[in-house]
Amino acid sequence: MAIVTLTNVTKVFGGRRNRVVAVDSVTLSVADGELVVLLGPSGCGKTTTLRLVAGLERLSSGTIEIDGRIVNEVAPRERDVAMVFQDYALYPHLTVQANLAFGLKMRRTPKPEIQRRVAEVVGFLGIEDLLDRKPHALSGGQQQRVAFGRAVVRRPGLCLFDEPLANLDARLRVQMRVELKRMQRELGMTALYVTHDQNEAMALGDRLVVMRDGAVQQIGRPLEVFERPANRFVAGFLGAPPMNFLEGRLAGANGRVAFECGGGRIAVPDALQALVSRCLGGPIVLGIRPERVSIVGGPSLGNGDARSDKDDAAIAVRVSTTESLGDHVNVYSRTRCGQEVVAKVAVSNAASSAVIDGGEAWAMFDVEGIALFEVGPSGANMGAGACGVEG
Ligand code: ADP
Ligand code: MG
């Protein structure tokens, strides 16, 4: 059990000529018993952040508190923190049993207590049959189970996980993340978990911290971040296939604001009307998730069709390719001005709307699912209040 607080935590590597800001003024707090996931692409500073919390790196500036105590100068072993790595890092010459007992032994825990705690963890992880084996005789999944066990057996207040499932195959990864969450909950551990895998992050996290170039982009509950991304980077990082982005302009039509691009017009949802009315005429990026796009019609649907421009909810596209993935179909298409639109549709819908490669169709937008982003590198979500091109 532990509460962790990072305040303006910064880590700079290198000197004047090869300076890298690996962690850039990160502020976040993890509540007691909470599982917070640091999510972001490779190189965004996730591992460095964990190593700072563990005490394996020195901060350049900022403070880290564990249970209200500033630990900037506290040695790793005095922080009551355990860390699980991607490569397991088990002692190769020790049996599973000895690997599990090692940390407790080093802390001179009484033998009966060691036995009791190891037995508890072993039961929890279902590894009774593996106790006499050495790591080389274990599969990747089994090794990672033992690594979890070794981290939690001494009941640390805080457990840090650095992409612990990355070396496992897809199926095992899903199974292990369920086990990990159960273990974290039942033991009441506070956990900081690092991954670049958005599914893993969504599935595991009580909250997500999305990072880019060392800096926090957004902190929130998984669905909050998925549904109300702070900016275009976050919107594009979560979801598969990622959110569609269309460049266009805001135009007035019948007293309302609409999005226009290459011959198509899409209504702007009511909730955004007031926010964007002062940005009329300006460039804008429309975002919509593939789940909110459907594909209808074919060449026979002309401009007079009820589903076309009149409803301001569809754009004419040409289907470029489709991927049938069993439970759904990804339909890749292009607008007349060459912007890509991906729709994620049910198999039955794809069949009934006769989607064919090279065919003409309408990409229908569920207008309530539309987000509008600023043009420019940070691309703030205008639903969060901003307007126009970055200054
Ligand atoms: P992630 O875990 O998100 O992939 P890291 O925290 O490992 O990212 O790295 C963040 C940035 O810091 C990268 O640009 C990386 O090259 C750099 N970096 C990490 N460790 C060191 C180091 N010891 N010396 C110099 N640069 C480093
Ligand atoms: Mg890393």
Residue bearing tokens 């032994």: 105
Q: What is the pLDDT of residue 310?
A: 46
Task: Give the per-residue pLDDT at 263.
Answer: 62
Q: What pLDDT is attached to residue 352?
A: 61
Q: What is the pLDDT of residues 27-74, one digit of tens each?
A: 999 999 999 999 999 999 999 999 999 999 999 999 999 999 999 999
- Closest C-alpha residue for ligand 1 atom 24: 13
* Nearest residue (CA) to ligand 1, atom 2: 47
Residue 50: closest CA among 73, 22, 69, 87:
22
How many whole angstroms separate alpha carbon 149 and alpha carbon 122?
Answer: 7
86-100 residue pLDDT tens: 887 899 999 999 999
Determine which residue's CA is closest to atom 6 belonging to ligand 1.
45
* Residue 358: predicted pLDDT: 81
Which residue minimizes the CA distance to atom 7 of ligand 1?
A: 47
Which residues in the chain show pLDDT less than 70? 1, 263, 298-311, 350-354, 384-391
| Per-residue confidence (pLDDT) for residue 132, from 0 to 100 | 95
Paired tokens of 138: 């274990």
| Side-chain half-sphere CA neighbours of 365 within 13 A | 29
Q: Are 331 and 350 in contact (CB under 8 A)?
A: yes
pLDDT at 351: 64
Pocket of ligand 1 (CB under 6 A): 13-14, 20, 22, 40, 42-48
- Residue 50, φ and ψ in degrees, nearest 5: -60, -45
Cα–Cα distance for residue pair 130/147, rounded to 1 Å:
13
- CA 42 to ligand 1 center in whole angstroms: 9
298 CA distance to ligand 2 centroid (A)?
47
- 32 CA → ligand 2 middle, Å: 24
Measured distance between the N- and C-terminal CA atoms of the chain, rounded to whole angstroms: 45
